[in-house]
Structure 1
Amino acid sequence: MLLNQTNLLAEMPVQSRPRERLEQYGEKALSNHELLAILLRTGVKGTNVVSVALNILNTFDDLYYLKHVSLEELIMISGVGKTKAIELKAAIELGIRIAQAPQIKTGQITSSRQIGEMMSAEMGDLQQEHVIVLFLNTKNEIIKKETIFKGGLSSSVAHPREIFKGAVRYSAAKIVVVHNHPSGCPNPSEADIVFTKRVAECGDLMGVELLDHIIVGQNDYASLKELGIF
């Protein structure tokens, strides 16, 4: 009697199953057939999903040609069927569009004054302390602007690792940290100075330059770079 695919997959060690491996190690650690197995979701009677994925890849000379395969060719592969073939074609096309999509840029940084005036208009009236990071490419173009913290730099949640997690995610070469003082006075506190130095040191280690830390007050701002803090 044939075993069903669930039993066959269940016999695999947990650390060898694609979904569990992605969750534990991340998608970069998975092979092509493991990533494909996750998209397929299930196998067929007598053949688990990993074997079906391997069967697909073995049908073509190279992974490159998979993006040119027709719906009919996929359906003909054992273990695929019409539904899986449609889902694979959709996933392949989405991957192609993602690869071709341009990175959106929202302006170029030319000076601390430019950032200060821009962010003062945006953050000057906020009643709660916010920390915003501008992620830049090598040309000082803004590729992402993200609110990292709310509540103040003295809070234990304000940690440089959250900033550099974003820098890695967006492949940023440089960053600008901006936060506001609801009191209206932009003068840096001791906590601001300590935090800035920690971010600059982490940036040096990771190869991501901290261009400036701007503190926004009421119709005014302070640049810790210009003040010689770091």
Structure 2
Amino acid sequence: MAIKDWPASERPREKLLRYGAEALTDAELLAIFLRTGVTGISAVELAQQLLDHFGSLAALMQADLDTFCEAKGLGQAKYVQLQATLEMARRTLRNRLQTGQAFDSAETAGAYCQHLLGGRDHEAFAALYLDAQHRLIEDEILFRGTLTETAVHPREVARNALRHNAAAVIVAHNHPSGMIAPSEADRQLTQRLSKALELLGIRLLDHLIVTDRDWFSLQRNDPFLFQ
């Protein structure tokens, strides 16, 4: 049955207008983005098939061009539209943080870094450079690696922190495996970064591990690493 033949209260667009976007399922939100289904399949059914294919909404949104366009019902036009939408969301969040909101909690940093890195199919490492009030100056993805390994050099983080005249830094990386627990290598890296930045009078506030569904704060769970 086509969506136009559904009861008005169950149609994604009408449901969003009445209850807000947070009331919609991932499939319903994606269906609004798709706008139409394919022959014999409604937009919501197609959306659910795509979610099953990619594994999650975040994974679909982070897919590269070739992987994205191979899926049924998608193509370059949809990829361009999605990337533009994601970039608008990133810039909106960045602008909001640059105009007053401080990274004053693990929740704020975790949500931001999850948006920045979560759902990627390769490991990436990012740094957030903050002013003395812990407001965002700039974020940068410094390193990209394989699914299991990435080379992070404290001197690069420190050099860029000086370039941005940062007073504090938050670093983050993703675990494409979906496992949120830090490794011993993650802990050792945190200590090296903290000591390297401390020599320059810059404070490492946190090291976050993110997936497409969750985040983990090393500062909250292992604060001794930052001493």
- TM tier, shorter chain? 0.5 to 0.7
2:120 counterpart of 1:139: no
TM-score normalised by length of structure 2? 0.52
Count of matched residue pairs: 126
User: What runs of 5+ residues in structure 2 fail to find an aligned partner?
Assistant: 1-96
- Structure 2 counterpart of 1:161: 155
2:212 counterpart of 1:218: yes
Deviation digits for residues 100-124 of structure 1, max 9, x if unmatched? xxxx936421101111122223322
Give how far 1:198 is off.
0.3
SS in 1 for 2:156: helix
Of 219, 222, 226, which residue of structure 2 is paired with 1:228? Answer: 222
2:174 counterpart of 1:180: yes
- Structure 2 counterpart of 1:128: 122
Contact 1:154 1:191 (8 Å CA) reproduced: no
SS in 2 for 1:146: strand
For 1:114, the aligned partner's letter is: T
Deviation digits for residues 52-82 of structure 1, max 9, x if unmatched? xxxxxxxxxxxxxxxxxxxxxxxxxxxxxxx
Q: Which is worse superposed, 130-139 or 109-118?
A: 109-118
Task: Report the aligned-residue RMSD.
Answer: 1.8
2:164 counterpart of 1:192: no
User: What runs of 5+ residues in structure 1 fail to find an aligned partner?
Assistant: 1-103
For 2:157, the aligned partner's letter is: I
Deviation digits for residues 84-110 of structure 1, max 9, x if unmatched? xxxxxxxxxxxxxxxxxxxx9364211
Give how far 1:154 is off.
4.5
Percent of residue pairs bearing the same amino acid type: 35
| Structure index of larger Rg | 1
SS in 1 for 2:220: coil
SS in 2 for 1:144: strand
Of 98, 112, 116, which residue of structure 2 is paired with 1:105? Answer: 98
TM-score normalised by length of structure 1? 0.52
Give how far 1:186 is off.
1.4
